[in-house]
Amino acid sequence: MKKFFLSLVLGISALCASAVEPFIEFQPIQAGDDWTAFNFQGGFTAKVHPNIALGAGFGITERWNFDSAPLIPLFARLQFEGRIRSLYPFFSFDVGYEINTEHTDCGAVLVNPMVGLKFNRWYFGIGYLGHCWTPKHADSTSCFNMKIGYNF
């Protein structure tokens, strides 16, 4: 446990020592079972290396027709950025937990790897969103998703 807290303190110190970039994202989600939703999320990233950023964020996920209670995702982000001539590709990996506001006894561990391109402060990515529901609903769901985001 001491190692975890030491790692956490060192990680926060590294984030505070670098420039922090807030972000906001819109993420439409289309699952195979006619479940369409949107996700608005925001957070921050900070460079720990010229090509590597760490961050954290939270959001809200709701169906298009507002017929169910929203999910609240909380996640950590690892992002690799590069430059190929005039293109700025990136790979991000989000991992976290989605709190279910309707059935509070269950939620989902989420994993969301994504590849994309940056255009100035805007970015666009395509990824794979996987959920592993907690034991009461011990199944998993997954779908392709895309993100449109802006770094402040």
Q: Report d(CA 108, CA 129) in Å as an integer.
A: 11
Pick one of 3.40.140.80, 3.10.300.10, 2.40.160.20, 1.10.1240.10 as the CATH number of 19-151: 2.40.160.20
The DSSP result for 35-74, as a single string, is -EEEEEEEEEEEEEETTEEEEEEEEEEEETT--SPPEEEE
pLDDT at 140 (0 to 100): 73
Q: Report d(CA 62, CA 100) in Å as an integer.
A: 11
Q: Tens digits of per-residue pLDDT, 7-53? A: 655 555 555 555 788 999 998 876 656 667 888 999 999 999 999 99
Domain locations along the chain: 19-151
**123-128: long-range contacts, CB 8 A cutoff, minimum separation 24:** 123/90, 123/147, 123/148, 123/149, 123/150, 123/151, 124/148, 124/149, 125/90, 125/92, 125/149, 127/92
Q: Tens digits of per-residue pLDDT, 70-107? A: 889 999 999 999 998 888 999 999 999 988 888 777 78
pLDDT at 105 (0 to 100): 75
Does the reported pTM lie above 0.85?
no
pLDDT at 134 (0 to 100): 74
